[in-house]
Amino acid sequence: MKNNNLFPCLLALVFLISPLQAQKTEKTSPEFLQYTNSKWVDSIMETLTPKERIAQLIMVAAYSNRGSQHKKEILKLINEQKIGGLVFFQGDPKSQLELLNDYQLASKVPLLGAMDAEWGLGMRLDNTISYPYQMALGAIRDDSLVYDLGQEVARQLKRTGLHLNFAPVVDVNNNPNNPVINYRSFGENRENVAQKGIAYMRGMQDANLLTSAKHFPGHGDTDTDSHHALPQINHPFNRLDSLEMYPFKELINAGGSGVMVAHLDIPALDSTGVPSTLSKAIITGILKDRLGFKGLIITDAMNMKGVTKGNAPGVVDKDAILAGNDLLEYTEDVPKAIEEVSKAIKQGLISQNELDQRVRKVLAAKQWVGLNNYKKQSTKNILKEINTGHAKFLNRKLVEASLTVLKNKNSILPLRKLDTLKIASISFGAQKQTQFQKSLNLYAEVKSFQVKANATAAEVAALKQKLSAYNLVIGGIHDDSRFPRNTMKFSKAVQQFIGELSKEENSIFSYFKNPYSLNKIAGIEDATGLILTYQDTKTTQDLAAQLIFGGVGANGRLPVSIGDKFKSGDGEDVKGKLRLKYTVPEDAGMNSKVLFHGVDSLMQEAIKKKATPGGQILVAKNGKVVLHKAYGYHKYSDTIKVKKNDLYDLASVTKISSALPALMKLQDEGKFSLDASIDDYLPYFKHSNKAGIPFRQILAHQARFKPWIPYWKNTLRKNGSYKWYTFKKDSSRRFPIKVSENLWLHRNYQKKMFKAIKKSELEDEAKYKYSGLAFYLLPAIVEEISGEDFRKYINENFYDKLGATTLGYNPMKSYKKSRIVPTEHDYLFRHKPIHGMVHDEGAIMMGGVSANAGLFSTANDLAKLMQMYLNMGTYAGHRYIDETTLRDWTKTQFPDNDNHRGVGFDKPYLQYKGENSNTAKDASKASFGHTGFTGIMAWMDPEEDLLYLFLSNRVLPSRSNTRLYQLNTRTKIQQVLYDAMK
């Protein structure tokens, strides 16, 4: 090597000029070194020829997606050259492990398997998880999460047969234009980089995986990619020592097992101009002698132009060994490399003893990872075992913890008072609705727009006109690259538009790009709300949307400075848990495997046995939605799949979702009493047999009321035709109530229904008997007490505030028929398939508006009201109902009379009756809810903070289809929820 003779002088000069700083951490040696002179290492050394010992220091590139010819080439290197290890690149876990098993079988000495998996297996392998890039991890304030990442990444790598991760990157990225490190760095703050690096390293090493801190002595301040050329760093030694090398020193002292050396030209450390990978002054002089590092020293890939330019294959590998490296990554010409190192030994450039010590070090590392007792690994269930619920949950936790709020003027985040907002969302750089926009719509009605990256001024102007109808604009700024590059490809018109929106009073932006690129958009720092996610994935989009509405919080801190706009460390805390959080079961302490398998299999059984064509299920625990899925089709013979935003007829769940919350609120205001009776609010009933019966008895179904009245039958003559004052084929002023396409009801017929209720006889005995009669009267009672239209009252006081936009009556007035799931083919009354109108005959004769039935909703919007109940009257910081009122209404009212019901709410049977019970065995006695005739169930368990919604159309094609009851699907699924908590 050309610089060898200069080494002593240069090294002496360096340390005379600037002594290295004292280390902060007490020094710990790498654990694997304890095996350097073990019996196993001794035994292996005895079997190795001089050339085979050199080969132990060589690792070649291996792929699991390159076919049989590539496999033959690797096997040839193993059989003929006796290489020491493999560095795996593209492929998939199963194929990789199958190959590695074969390679290990062919190898004389077990092979060391390595990978560049900085953000997990997803960096290299298909069908695996990509965790956040290190720039995002740098924003996290809880280092224990980074440790957990290390543990999980180690588990996954080991499951694919590997032993060494070329991570963490501990380069301090202080150059925004760095093309090769950048988002791969924890940031620009040396202490933060060191702390995160140590946490990640310890997590992996505590899980028995070797690590490699990179790229020594620091690749952060370059504007050249060493894959393509040799970057030069011209800082003085003091700066390099105190900044670039600081994290490496900290990781070395913390017991890091490996260090990877970069391909860099650093005149202050070696004036000869050779790459640092080939510099004895840097590797032996500084890393080994001065920093005292005794672990594995690994080269960066030996095929990169930063080291290969001007250096011949084999010769360059020899120079790397002479410089002090222990492992050569990605050697291009293995026979030549072995030959050149052999020559160097003969020439006395390196002694056999010195080389043997490095071989022992490599073998010791192999023993530490268990290769002295190597066993073939099974590929069975490998994908499931890698992509576990815990692994997915960790990814969400890391993304959530990295969310950084840079602006939050007037505490706009999280959004409140949804009933005052008309919201538009714009996804910049997208051409169709994004996950960000879909997730925003989980919380409120948000109109979605998209702006192409190259949009013209005319296209922008057209959108501006549409935005005039909205008082809040939420922008998502998206990336067009797989990696978050520091680039800006938006047209001038788009950038100007973003700047203009930022100056509006109510503008929120979520930035899904590289943070450095924020500096390229003038004015974005003026936005009322500004969120930084560091990269663009479905998970970052989803959680950013949840942050805006308070489903999650944020406490991330910016790990780099962004021009003059923001400084490293900037960020504001925003509290979460305001509204429902959409997450994975493990976030709520539930087992995703038990939950998803159990629910999916029961739903598939129900659909297969034609108990229902499809359905929606939503499960929330601790205010966290852990399952939200759509199953099957709208009809058995249909091709329209159920979607999560389709609306279902809620049937009797309307009872607890419409008049009931209204009456509880009116009770809180002193305007309604459970001790009062119907005639107290509707004088028409004063002289009826219903007078004086208290509402507590009525709503607990213990008022002796008849179960139901077939109102529609009273409209028929003996010959089957309709009486003249009941129905007409066409609408008119006298017949305005639509019952079906060619059936319109007389405007006064509701009075006849009330009369029928008034005159109906009472049962002989005051005991539990389910009756819907009083619920037809409740809307009129709410109107009488409040002085407001019933629908307006419940919309303004509940649904609008909750953001439950689909929860309402007569959905055809607001939604396309294709979004509404059909119910029964009515051959008795309407003689048509029922689609878009309420199934219940009495409710449709009330104009579709009744407290007995009539509400439609998605599971998601119904969940908001039910979660308010589960929260004992509050949601999103607003109290809707007093807690004492809710606790009273949801408790069993007349247990001594063998009546299990609450006030309006259903409750578990007083004694569990097995499959004949109305709830799962494990549902607590404190739980409450309701079921619906069309195949609905809404149930809440305050003891477990558990919400369960089951929406279906089991009445298709006919109400005589009772298979859903026979299979007991709803309560069996409910039991799965409790099983998943165990």
pLDDT tens string 47-61: 999 999 999 999 999
Q: What pLDDT score was predicted for residue 25? A: 54
Tokens 């013979």 locate to 637
Q: How far apart are CA 917 and CA 902, in angstroms?
A: 16
Q: How far apart are CA 344 and CA 295, in angstroms?
A: 23
Distance of alpha carbon 279 from its chain centroid, rounded?
45
Contact 475, 544 (CB under 8 A): no
DSSP labels for 530-583? EEE-SS--HHHHHHHHHHHHTSS-B----SS-BTTTB-TT--B-B---SS-EE-
Q: How far apart are CA 936 and CA 654, in angstroms?
A: 10
Q: How far apart are CA 854 and CA 487, in angstroms?
A: 53
| Sign of the dihedral defined by the CA atoms of residues 128, 134, 136, 138, in that order | positive
> What contacts 132, CB < 8 A, 6 or more positions away?
119, 395, 398, 399, 402, 534, 535
Q: What is the DSSP letter of 980?
A: H
Q: What is the DSSP letter of 416?
A: -
Q: How far apart are CA 270 and CA 304, in angstroms?
A: 20
Residue closest to 139 by CA, chosen among 401, 392, 485: 401
CA angle, residues 396, 397, 401, in degrees to nearest 5: 115
The runs of H, that is alpha helices, within 441-477 are 457-467
| Sign of the dihedral defined by the CA atoms of residues 942, 944, 945, 950, in that order | negative
> What contacts 347, CB < 8 A, 6 or more positions away?
none
Joined together, the tokens standing for residue 363 give 């073998």
Q: In the chain, helix, strand, coil percent, each to 5?
A: 40, 15, 45
CA distances (Å), 364 to each of 112, 288, 359, 361, 477, in order?
11, 18, 8, 5, 49
Residue type, 973: I
Contact 54, 355 (CB under 8 A): yes
| Sign of the dihedral defined by the CA atoms of residues 77, 83, 88, 89, in that order | negative
Domains and CATH numbers, the chain: 4-21+30-385 (3.20.20.300), 403-579 (3.40.50.1700), 597-709+760-981 (3.40.710.10)
Cβ neighbours, 10 Å, residue 425? 27
Residue closest to 618 by CA, chosen among 646, 640, 639, 638: 646
Joined together, the tokens standing for residue 944 give 């477990």
Contact 443, 549 (CB under 8 A): yes
Residue type, 473: V
> What contacts 418, CB < 8 A, 6 or more positions away?
443, 444, 800, 801, 802, 803, 876
Residue closest to 958 by CA, chosen among 933, 921, 922: 933
**Phi, psi torsion values for 598, nearest 5 degrees:** -65, -50
Q: How far apart are CA 200 and CA 75, in angstroms?
A: 33
Residue closest to 635 by CA, chosen among 394, 226, 359, 954: 954
Q: How far apart are CA 578 and CA 571, in angstroms?
A: 20
Contact 199, 143 (CB under 8 A): yes
> What contacts 367, CB < 8 A, 6 or more positions away?
32, 35, 38, 40, 41
Contact 334, 83 (CB under 8 A): yes
Residue closest to 178 by CA, chosen among 135, 143, 140, 141: 135
DSSP labels for 172-228? ----TT-SSSGGGSS-S-HHHHHHHHHHHHHHHHHTT-EE-EEEET--SS-SS-TTT
Q: How far apart are CA 818 and CA 797, in angstroms?
A: 29
Distance of alpha carbon 813 from its chain centroid, rounded?
34
Q: What is the DSSP letter of 6?
A: G
- Helix/strand/coil for 72: helix
Residue closest to 917 by CA, chosen among 900, 935, 902, 933: 900
> What does the pLDDT look like over 679-718, one tens digit per residue?
999 999 999 999 999 999 999 999 999 998 888 888 888 8
Distance of alpha carbon 599 from its chain centroid, rounded?
20
- Helix/strand/coil for 296: strand
Taking 70 as the pLDDT cut, the residues of the chain under it are 1-26
> What contacts 236, CB < 8 A, 6 or more positions away?
18, 268
Beta strands in 92-133 (DSSP E): 112-115
- Give strand pairing partners of 405: 531, 572
> What contacts 335, CB < 8 A, 6 or more positions away?
81, 314
CA distances (Å), 699 to each of 165, 207, 924, in order?
65, 59, 22
Residue closest to 904 by CA, chosen among 685, 703, 743: 703
Cβ neighbours, 10 Å, residue 179? 16
Joined together, the tokens standing for residue 342 give 């052999």
Joined together, the tokens standing for residue 678 give 């119907």
Q: How far apart are CA 934 and CA 957, in angstroms?
A: 11
CA angle, residues 608, 610, 614, in degrees to nearest 5: 80
The alpha carbon torsion through 959, 962, 968, 970 (nearest 10 deg) reads -20
Residue closest to 227 by CA, chosen among 270, 184, 284, 279: 184
Contact 223, 175 (CB under 8 A): yes
The β-bridge relationship of strands 624-632 and 581-582 is parallel
Cα end-to-end distance, the chain, whole Å: 64
Joined together, the tokens standing for residue 65 give 């997606």
